[in-house]
Amino acid sequence: MNPIVLAGITGNLGERIARALVARGAAVRGLVRADVPPETRARLEGLGIVLVTVDYADVASLTEACRGARCVVSALSGLRGVIVDAQTVLLEGAVRAGVPRFVPSDFSTDFTKLPAGSNRNLDLRREFHARLEGAAIGVTSVFNGAFTDMLTGQAPFVLARWKRVLCWGNPDQHMDFTTVDDTAAYTADVALDPSTPRYLHIAGDQPNARDLAAVMTALTGTPYRVFRPGGLGLFAWVIRLTRALMSVTDELYPPWQGMQYMYGMFSGLAFPTRLDNDRYGPRNWITARDVLATKHGGA
């Protein structure tokens, strides 16, 4: 069986995609840098994954690593040097090796519907899309909204200390959330599917701010209310001010970057008109309530 080549296999999402592929009986060839820790290498090889050391600046290295693959999946994470530069070399290697399909590292809200300049990290993915267009390879992007896992603290939607759920703009605006595990499992199915469209949209749950407040009330037995500091115009101003007050940084997720992501979700601009959840048959999607219950328990 021709293998799936997976870039970014040492990351959180990448390793979960690898495990999902192995569970489906797929052969996986993981691309790693020379400095991968020995314990990480041992863990991945213990799953039956073949690891290939590559240089993401060397197209010849990546061409050989991709040769014979049925699909290349990128779960790379970073800023321009990774999302644009390294992925461009990976794409070129896949094309030179004759790989028929490529899944870029687009696991996010559908940034193709957002205005350019509204989100630094997503603009880098948009820039890479310009390089994908016209490439002699089939391309499929998976859009999953935000990772539901972040509701437990990384993204300040739920303000447990104040018994509030944050909302800028319309509290009835639904938003897409999908767990890392569900995204990985679906991506594994996409990688093994020989014929996929350009874009696929999934969501494990689509709550609005009022829904999240109701979930937290039920889980904790304490009333939660929606906290709306203002509309989207004010939020945009707060984001600009926050970014201006912070020093220039190469940090992947500075506070203003997370705020830009939340703005895109609260705006509803990227909310999909349809979902492709059932493309590979029914599955038990993990909901926002499921994730929040792991931290806040059940009433």
pLDDT tens for 85-109 read 999 999 999 999 999 999 999 999 9
pLDDT of residue 250: 80
pLDDT tens for 288-297 read 999 999 989 7
Query: How many C-beta neighbours within 10 Å does residue 259 have?
Result: 21
Stretch (H or E) spanning 138: strand 138-139
Lowest mean pLDDT of 126-140, 141-155, 226-240, 244-258, name the range.
Answer: 244-258
Which residues lie below 8 Å from residue 153, measured CB to CB, with a gap of 6+? 295
pLDDT tens for 9-41 read 999 999 999 999 999 999 999 999 999 999 999
Please report how many Cα atoms fall inside a 13 Å half-sphere around the Cα of residue 106, on the Cβ side.
24
CA distances from 107 to 25, 104, 117, 157 (A): 23, 8, 19, 20
Q: What is the mean pLDDT of residues 107-126?
A: 96
The model's confidence at residue 299, banded by pLDDT at 50, 70 and 90, is very low
Residue 21: both structure tokens together: 């592929």
Residue 9: both structure tokens together: 């296999």
Of the candidates 93, 69, 90, the residue with the CA atom closest to the CA atom of residue 81:
90
The model's confidence at residue 82, banded by pLDDT at 50, 70 and 90, is very high
Is 238 in contact with 156 (CB distance < 8 Å)?
no
Give CA–CA dist 257/118, Å, rounded. 10
Cα–chain center distance at 133: 21
Question: How much is the mean pLDDT over the chain?
Answer: 96
pLDDT tens for 183-224 read 999 999 999 999 999 999 999 999 999 999 999 999 999 999
Give CA–CA dist 104/241, Å, rounded. 32
